[in-house]
Amino acid sequence: MTDPLRRLLPTLYGAALPDLFDRPLVEEPRATCSDCAMCDKGDANAGLRAGFFKPDIKCCTYHPTLPGYLVGAALRDTSPEFATGRERLRKKLVARIGITPGWLAAPRKQNVLFEAARDSSFGRAESLVCPYYVRDGGKCSIWPYRESICATFFCKHASGKAGHTFWTALKRYMIHMERKLTHYAVRTVDPDVIEPNLPMNKLTTEDLEDRPPSTDTYAGWWKAWVGQEEEFYKACAAAVEALSPAAFAEIVHDEEGASRLADAAARYKDLTEPRLAPRLRLNPDMPVTPAEGGVAVIPYSRYDPLFLTEDLYLALQQFSSERDVATVLADLMREHDVELPEPLLLSMQQAGVMTPVPD
């Protein structure tokens, strides 16, 4: 039996998650973490090289921002196999960098560097490696409690753009969910603590020099919980864990949350019940590079280029806004003796090579 989508998330949420998470999990077998699909294996067509990752750090070159309630849930986990994760989280708490009542965040200087270097250095730069990454074995030490961005990232998708679109929509919903639950948990445990409003791209001297905020500033946020941050986070975890499905929905499914959930559900249906559009055309925004025997294309992500044979590419060029799919397929057979199976064309639509023409 296929696992449900809720397997992606910590058990902390229990039955409170909406019905979408009871649907079968979308498997992504092309994103192979144990044998990184983005590492150079010496067999890639030169036209398909998208910039290889370093095999010892892979995509773990991102510092997650963890909701405090997830940190609390992780620190309650006393299993021996989670000892490294607990140790690294507690080390973060002691350092007091990025520690607020709501979040255990990346150092703000790290966020600035990541945004500036994302295109050139993601998957490659040692300075961006996640503090929870375990090099020996290439594993995440806090995997059962990972946040939304880590839970929904895949370098390659079995269904190409359709998969990427679904996971992006699910990520947007989960980010909203984490923010709303974080606010609820903090207010429930102690409404007197203060979550600072720190501008994204403005650094203090302490940020720049990798130092924690001043003692007074930090105490102003945490109030009576200074020195008891772990206990505060654990109480936040208990507050979220106690939510019923109705209470969860009341907190998370405001107008924005309901809209994001509906979009994720719609994208899930598009992915799992695909239909060939009545009219298609080649993706006009898709980079195309000549390669031996055909072309290399990047339909939706530079991490997932595709190779199209010359014959297939020429056939796909016959589709346009002016003619429906059935007419083009018939013309290809009659005029060029080319049979283009509908399942192949549908796979090109899912991959993002072909895009539906709006009515």
296-346 per-position pLDDT tens digit: 999 999 999 999 999 999 999 999 989 999 999 999 999 999 999 999 999
Stated as kind and residue range, the H or E segment containing 188 is helix 161-189
Give burial (CB, 10 Å; 0-12/13-18/19+) of 355.
buried
Mean pLDDT (whole number) for 106-128:
92
Mean pLDDT (whole number) for 234-245:
98
Query: Which stretches of 148-293 are assigned E, i.e. beta strand?
Result: 280-282, 288-291
Q: How many residues does the chain have?
A: 359
Angle (CA) 208-186-190 rounded to 5° is 110
Tokens of 174: 């989960």
Q: Which residues of 192-209 are buried (b: 16+ CB within 10 A; e: fewer)?
A: ebeeeeeeeeeeeebbee
Mean pLDDT (whole number) for 22-38:
92
- Per-residue pLDDT, 193: 98
Q: What confidence category does residue 216 fall into, taking pLDDT thresholds of 50, 70 and 90? A: very high
Residue predicted with more confidence, 199 or 337: 337
Residue 12 scores a pLDDT above 70: yes
CA distance 44 to 206: 45
Q: What confidence category does residue 49 fall into, taking pLDDT thresholds of 50, 70 and 90? A: low
DSSP-derived pairing of the beta strands 306-309 and 133-134: unpaired
- Per-residue pLDDT, 41: 77
Nearest to 90 by CA among 102, 77, 28: 77
Stated as kind and residue range, the H or E segment containing 264 is helix 255-272
- Per-residue pLDDT, 52: 87
CA-to-CA separations, 77 to 14, 140, 235, 250, in angstroms, rounded: 16, 15, 14, 28
The pTM for the full model equals 0.95
Q: Which residue has the tokens 């498997």?
A: 27
- Per-residue pLDDT, 261: 98
* CA count, 13 A, side-chain hemisphere, 110: 20
Tokens of 335: 């005029």
Mean pLDDT (whole number) for 140-144:
96
Those residues with Cβ within 8 angstroms of residue 347's Cβ, 6 or more apart along the chain or in another chain = 160
Stated as kind and residue range, the H or E segment containing 143 is none
Those residues with Cβ within 8 angstroms of residue 206's Cβ, 6 or more apart along the chain or in another chain = 212, 213, 214
Residue 238 scores a pLDDT above 80: yes
- Per-residue pLDDT, 311: 96
Residue 47 scores a pLDDT above 60: no
Arithmetic mean of pLDDT over the chain: 94
Residue 46 scores a pLDDT above 60: no
- Per-residue pLDDT, 43: 63
How does DSSP classify residue 5?
G
Mean pLDDT (whole number) for 270-293:
96
Residue 45 scores a pLDDT above 60: no
- Per-residue pLDDT, 202: 87
